[in-house]
Amino acid sequence: MSSVNASPLMPFPLLKSILWLVGTVLLLAMAIAGAMAGLGWSDHVWMNEVGAVVCGGAGVVGLIPVWVLSKRLPHGAAMGFLVGILFRMAVAGTVVLVVQWSDQPYARFLSYWIAGWYLVVLTIEVKLVSSHANALVTSTTPLSETS
C-alpha cells in the first residue's frame, strides 16, 4: 500500500508561460504598430517595439525565479514573482535612465512606452502566477507517491 505525499510543491510551467508571454507581447506589439502606421504615426512605431522588447525580454527572464522557487518552496511561485518584479523594475528603470540621459529627441515618449509595456507584462505575469496558484489550491490529484 502506498501513501500519498500531500506536498503542495508543483513546478511552475515555465515553457508554457514563456510562450504565452512572448506570444501575447508580439501580438499586441504588431497590433499597436499596425494601428500607429494606419494613423500616420510611423515615426513612433520603433518606440513601441523597443518597449515591447525591453519589457518582454525582462519578463521572460523574470519568470525563471518563479519556476526555480516553485520547485523548492511551498509558496515559491509568489516569492519568485516578487524577485521577477524587482528584476523587471531594474531593467526598465535602467533603460529609462539611459534614454533620458542620452538627451534624444524622443526620450520622453520612449520612456512612456517602456512604462506602458512594463504594465502589460506585469498584468500577463500576474495572470500566469495566479493561474498556477489556483491550480495548486484546486489540485486533488496526488503530486507524488512514496512507498
Hey, where are the domains in the chain? Answer: 12-135
* Local confidence pLDDT in tens for the 147 residues of the chain: 444 444 457 888 999 999 999 999 999 999 999 999 999 988 889 999 999 999 999 999 999 999 999 999 888 899 999 999 999 999 999 999 998 898 888 888 999 999 999 999 999 999 999 888 887 777 654 444 444
Burial 104-135 (b: 16+ CB within 10 A, else e): eeebeebbebbeebbebbbebbeebbeebbee
pLDDT of residue 8: 59
